[in-house]
Structure 1
Amino acid sequence: MVAAGEWRDYGISSLRDLAVFSVFRRTAEHPLYRIEKRPKLRQRQGQYSVVGMDGHILKRGADLKTVLRVLERKLIRSVE
C-alpha cells in the first residue's frame, strides 16, 4: 500500500496492554487505519483488530492475516 502511494506514513506505538500500527495518508492527519493487538482479548473476540478513521472496528479476530483481509477489500477498484 505504501508503494502504491495509498499510504504515505506510518507509526508504531507500544503501550502496556496494547500495540498499535497506525497508517496515515499524510503525516499531519489522523490515521486512516489502526491495526491493534490486545493480548487480553485473545480468548474472547480475538487479539487483533483493524480500526477505521472514525473509531469503528472493521474486523476483529485471532489471526492477523485474516483480519488484514479487510484492507485488501478496501483497495479493490474497478478498471474501466
Structure 2
Amino acid sequence: MGTVTPFPNAGGQPLQIGFDRLELTRILDLYGRMVAAGHWRDYAIELGKDAAVFACFRRTAERPEFRIEKRPALRNKQGMWALVGEHGAIVKRGHELGPVLAPVERRLVKLVE
C-alpha cells in the first residue's frame, strides 16, 4: 500500500500529440461552415508522436485540400500551427490557431450588394 508506481513515460515526451477541446472546436466549426458552403465533404485526423494533423478533403478519394498541423516542437521557433496546402506548401504558419485559419475563413466571405 505504501508503494507509488509512476505512470509510464512520466515527465518525458508525450507518446502522442493531440488537439485540446478548444482547438478541436475551432477547427470543427470551420469544417462545418465549409461543408455547409459545399467546399468540403470529408476529414481525417492523425494523432502522431510528432504532430497532430486535421486534413480536409473535397472528395474522399483525393488528396486533402488543406492540412492543419500542430507541432509543439516548433512552438518556440516558427510557431506550432501550420496550414499546409494541397501540394505540400505551407500557406500560413503561426503561434496561434486563429490567424493560421484566416486564409480558409476568407473563402467563406461573400460580397453582398
For normalisation by structure 2, the TM-score amounts to: 0.66
Q: AA paired with 2:56?
A: V
Rg larger in structure: 2
Question: Could you say what the CA RMSD is over the residues aligned between the two structures, in angstroms?
Answer: 1.4
After superposition, residues 59-78 of structure 1 pair within 5 angstroms as 59-76=92-109
For normalisation by structure 1, the TM-score amounts to: 0.91
State the Cα distance separating 1:41 from its structure 2 match: 0.3
Aligned position for 2:17: none
Q: 2 CA distance for matches of 1:10 and 1:79?
A: 30
State the Cα distance separating 1:76 from its structure 2 match: 4.0
The structure richer in helix per residue is: 2
Aligned position for 1:49: 82
**Which stretches of structure 1, 4 residues or longer, exceed 3 Å deviation after superposition?**
74-80
Q: 1 CA distance for matches of 2:41 and 2:52?
A: 20
Query: Is 1:16 aligned to 2:16, yes or no?
Result: no
Q: Where in structure 2 are there 5+ consecutive unaligned residues?
A: 1-33
The structure richer in strand per residue is: 1
Q: Where in structure 1 are there 5+ consecutive unaligned residues?
A: none
Aligned residues: 80
